Amino acid sequence: MSLFPRFLLALLKPIILGVVVAALLLFLFPEFRQGEGLKLNWLNQERNVPQRLSYYDALAISAPAVVNIYSVSLENSNRLFRSRPIERTNLGSGVIMREDGYLLTCYHVIRNADSIYVSIQDGRFLPAQLVGFDEITDLAVLRIFEQNLPVIPQVEEPNLRVGDVVMAIGNPLDLGQTVTSGIVSRLGRNGLANYFDRIQTDAVLNPGNSGGALIDSNGFLVGITNANFKTLDSRRRVQDVNGVNFALPYPLAKRVMDEIIDNGRVRRGQLGFSGNGYDNRGILVESVAPNGPAAEAGLRVNDLLLSVNGEDTIDLSKTLDLIAGTRPGAQLELVVSRNDELITMTVTVGELNPDMVFNS
């Protein structure tokens, strides 16, 4: 081979090698194609970490409005040498509902209390005034007189669904504000009450959670936590059932609060009968309270109640809510089927007594 071709080959080798290296760099570092150049810290760049699933933002706007409640009662001692009364403190939670200091809690938290105190998450410790209570829903309205209060986010109709993620905020066992999470397990009356629905959830509740907030994943209030399911063991001792806890729906709690603030108490209508849904047609009357509004209007056992004020009675819960929401003293028109004959009667609504066993 002549000297010139050897010289040419020696000259082309580094050029070909450079082209190969450049192509490889363009393949490995696409930013070179946009003219960005190689960043000096490319070897130290952090890997992209997926954003974690978190409810921090929801809690940040709702948790400050959930308070700790301490109710103090004085009990007389029966002991011979003890003259001073015994001071007992009950623990619970509450939710600030309005900027002017109205808050909701459970009635059993402050029942028979001689004094009530509220601890806000920003460190303020304030006396509270009992505005009123409702034994049927176990709700009580308190008021604190303070400025710049955090208020829990609320929406008129939460439209809660089974399977929705919910979080319970409260002060279990006086450990300080604690959050537990779960889902909505069931919506409905749950066999525990004839007058209102409950939210069933598997979010953990412990003593001290009563009266706290149940919120959705956006931080809106959907319920007031108030109960967990209990049963009796073989020795007749009360035991908690894990994963079955309850809250009162927000729309109901808000309605009770507003009525207590406006009128001092909650008045519910009742007719004095009990029954169950029948063949998707209406309510089959199973019992009628003697001398009650329904009895005086002529309603009898085995009547099939078809409508109340023009509303069909296929949905038992809806019918009970309609009656309970009617002002005592008002009149309702009932249409019943008796021995295949349609009968229309007018009934004057009575006032529901919490001790009554009839579901309407």
Give the active site residues. Answer: 108, 138, 210
C-alpha angle 57/216/133, rounded to 5°? 115
How far is it, in rounded angstroms, from Cα 70 to Cα 205? 18
Q: What residue has token string 């601890």? A: 119
Q: What residue has token string 């927000």? A: 250
Q: Which residues contact 230 (CB under 8 A, 6 or more apart)?
A: 238, 239, 240, 241
Contact 282, 337 (CB under 8 A): yes
Contact 193, 150 (CB under 8 A): no
Give the ranges where the chain is alpha helix by DSSP (H).
3-28, 56-62, 107-110, 250-263, 293-297, 316-324
Distances, alpha carbon 275 to alpha carbons 111, 285, 289, in Å: 33, 4, 12
Contact 323, 269 (CB under 8 A): yes
